[in-house]
Chains A and B, each alone.
Chain A
Amino acid sequence: MCGIIGFIDRTKSRMDGSSIKAALSLMNERGSGDGAGYAAYGIYPEYADYYALHVFFDNLGEPKKKVDELLQQLGEIVHQEEIPTTPQPGIKKVHIPWRYFFKPSEDLMSGKVASEKDVVTYIVMEVNANVKGATIFSSGKNMGVFKASGWPEDVANFYRIEDYKGYIWLGHNRYPTNSPGWWGGAHPFNLLNWSVVHNGEITSYGTNQRYVEGYGYKCSLFTDTEVVAYLFDLLGRQHGLSYETVVKALAPPFWDDIDRMSAKEAELNKAVRLTYGSALMNGPFAIVVGTENGIVGFTDRIKLRPLVVGENGSRLYISSEEAAIRVLDPEVKNIYTPRAGEPIIGRFIE
């Protein structure tokens, strides 16, 4: 099952995490208490120019030493601390959540790696695949993911989520089948400023995984959702596609529909399907992705998972359930359910 929420205030007016917690808890029927998480954008204005690396450490000995060394090798740690938490009876603290504010040094990376973002991507892949006892679960700027095993309200209280103020919020209430109990398996999944909450199961995972791994990503978190973050990074950042085109690649129109389009439109859609066939995601899913410029929600091509959209002024809400949106904003207007594969995009107003 799983329940998901996405929120954006397009004017970048920030909201604290308490109402997201309430809305997510409302969907507890969709979860099993084995995982919940939040992503919030705009929460670290004082460190906005640095990459906020959130890490689960099994202990602060060897794993942390290795991560520290790697970061110092490849850039500068501007600030670091344990992520503040409050013990909860419903949460067994199996990891120590830590955060670094990090500035990668571009000239230290050799070879084809070019930008700051490539350095950070490299660090995430390297640590998650090769450093035992450490998992980087969030690596964007001025944003962060907070997740653990437990019910949404317990996870929120554990991380004191109401202390953070963000203009984008994602929330996920998990009913895991793949990796229960593993904090790294809770959503959102993140790479750079891409964060993903996902309800469903990706039947094309093997194909998608082989595809992104051909570009240097390593799927090491034992959950299919991970690959969605990498697909967005590859297509959206590295290939420079618009969000609309990324969604067209991941959940494309059927050939029968393409055949009925105008010649120009059909050619474009055919080009997307031929080029990005390995990125097509199959199986049931409803997904909300947080990005640098807004949020993107979409479902699989035959809509095997629910997704509801609501709007109120500068605020856009996307969720598995209308009831959750109404908890977030009792005054919400214009509630509707998008068609299968239709991208719902909320961008900041310039």
Chain B
Amino acid sequence: MTLGSVPPKFKVSIDRDQCMDCGRCIENCSYGVYRREGDKILIESRKCTGCLRCVAMCPRDAITLTEKPIDYRSHPLWTREVREDIIKQARSGKIILSGMGNARDLPVVYDHLLLDACQVTNPSIDPLREPMELRTYIGKKPSKLKFRKTESGDVELETKLAPNLKLNTPIMIGHMSFGAISLNSQLSMAKAVTELGTYMGTGEGGLHEALYPYQDHMIVQVASGRFGVNIDYLERGAAIEIKIGQGAKPGIGGHLPGEKVSEEVSKARMIPIGSDAISPAPHHDIYSIEDLVQLIRSLKEATEWKKPVFVKIAAVHNVAPIAAGIARSSADAVVIDGFRGGTGAAPKVFRDNVGIPIEVAISSVDQKLREQGVRNEISIIASGGIRSSADLAKSIALGADAVNIGTAALVALGCRVCGNCYRNLCPWGIATQRPELVSRLDPERGAVQVSNLIKGWTDELSELMGAAGINSIESLRGNRDRLRGYMLDEKMLNILDVLPAGV
């Protein structure tokens, strides 16, 4: 024990005057912070993750949580986090696992971009009184239309449209697998996207039977582990996504800890119960862009060219030329996941250090595709840290067709972003497979919450567009003229191709 214990992250206390001794905190905490001894509720603060389940469930607001009750001697370089990571590794000799997205306090580009509105010279449009069009089609579009004259002398369209997904709002829910999250979480989101006319991803976890009624609004995923993939699965999806990489952990494969592989998960994923599901870093049939092209074509052949195929990549330094390569294949959309993207489990060193911000990635991908004349060949779906309708509007103005949300949808289900998703103990019933925890999440109520969130953002997007004098989402897309940079350096402004505020 030469290392001893590190200071607890949280200090939990109960206001004993307020407490009615109902024991809800004990029942609700899956991490074992509370226990009853005699007539007293005892607290073991060290086990607390800050998930706030007890605070949310306490009927008397009797619980107080203090972050970092004991801190280390302050040091700008040897921060608390750095010291604790070293201590952890000195103990274990292992890679440090983490959950959720990048937790470093790095500047957020979205927060340095400002949107525009109309005054005098053009009228703003009131979405309560005028049409406002958010309908978005995801998929290949022709770069030009051809017409031909029929024998009777009429002109008719010669160009045939490729299959596109029709979204009523440019917000989709990204891929979070059954396994990483519970069936009730997936059900909540599936009901919501079906009601709203948008889509969600299955993740690399197969498609549970309970989701079949919503399959027309689900995008199935083919990732490097190929878990859950067979022809039935491919045919059920509205579209197919090939996952090459993920923003939280670019360059490495997926990891589902064995604790989370319950019987149901094992069936959907087609793996043994309790075994770690570790997807390889690369697809073992994709070692080059031409291999990817083959896989896309194979999936299209298998599904008779009826379904759009997306390719998801992490936003890495070279994201623009990679996306341009994908645009030249028969892929219909490229999903770009920025370095703030969430995850159920990722090595902390990847989560916090690898990749680039989504804002920059959208900008450079859109630019590159336009330079190469292939922007219409492919839709751009942006994800990785989209927190609000403002982030959404800014993403579209930078050039995205739509966004995927992940963490935001989970927060709508109750998630408090404690980052312990890999432990299978999620007290909110989201990132867990334990039946007693999963049952805490009611899919009917969950669906209402997720749908409320997307509706709220959609209305806000309409208002933002109306204020900018725009009544169709096409006119916001790539409209960087309606963005201004605030406190961004010149190089960054050039990369984003936006003017500074005041110009």
Contacts and interface: CB of A to CB of B under 8 A. Distances in A.
Interface string A258-293: 000000100110111111111011111000000000
B373 A282 contact: no
A250 to B, nearest CB: 11
Contacts of B479: 204-207, 210
Interface of B: prevailing SS: loop
Given A241-B145, A275-B376, A284 B123 contact: yes
Given A280-B472, A282-B472, A302-B125, A214 B131 contact: no
B458 to A, nearest CB: 15
Q: Which of A201, A204, A239, A241 has most B Cβ within 10 Å?
A: A204
A198 interface: no
Interface in B155-176: 155-157, 159, 161, 164
Interface residues of A, number: 42
Contacts of A270: 161
Contact of B161 (A238, A274, A276): A274
Given A207-B477, A254-B133, 9 more contacts: A201-B121, A206-B478, A214-B370, A239-B144, A267-B157, A278-B477, A282-B471, A282-B472, A304-B123
Question: Interface size class for chain B?
Answer: 35 or more
B152 interface: no
B44 to A, nearest CB: 56
B141 interface: yes
B137 to A, nearest CB: 5
A200 interface: yes
Contacts of B481: 205-207, 209
A274 B122 contact: no
Query: Which 3 pairs across A and B sit closest by C-beta, in order of nearness?
Result: A206-B481, A204-B475, A277-B474
A271 B123 CA distance: 29
A200 B157 contact: no
A301 interface: yes
A275 B142 contact: yes
A210 B370 contact: yes
Contacts of B161: 267, 270-271, 274
Interface string A158-201: 00000000000000000001000000000000000000000011
Contacts of B480: 206, 210
A210 B478 contact: yes
Given A214-B370, A214-B371, A283-B470, A278 B478 contact: yes
B375 A214 contact: yes
Interface of B: 118, 121-123, 125, 130-131, 133, 135, 137, 141-145, 147, 155-157, 159, 161, 164, 366, 370-371, 373, 375-376, 397, 399, 468-472, 474-482
A73 interface: no
B137 A274 contact: yes
A283 B399 CA distance: 19
A340 B378 CA distance: 31
Given A214-B373, A239-B144, A302 B130 contact: yes
Q: Which of B141, B145, B159 has most A Cβ within 10 Å?
A: B145
B114 to A, nearest CB: 14
B143 A275 contact: yes
Contacts of A254: 131, 133
Given A274-B137, A283-B122, A284-B123, A207 B474 contact: yes
A255 B474 CA distance: 12
A312 interface: no
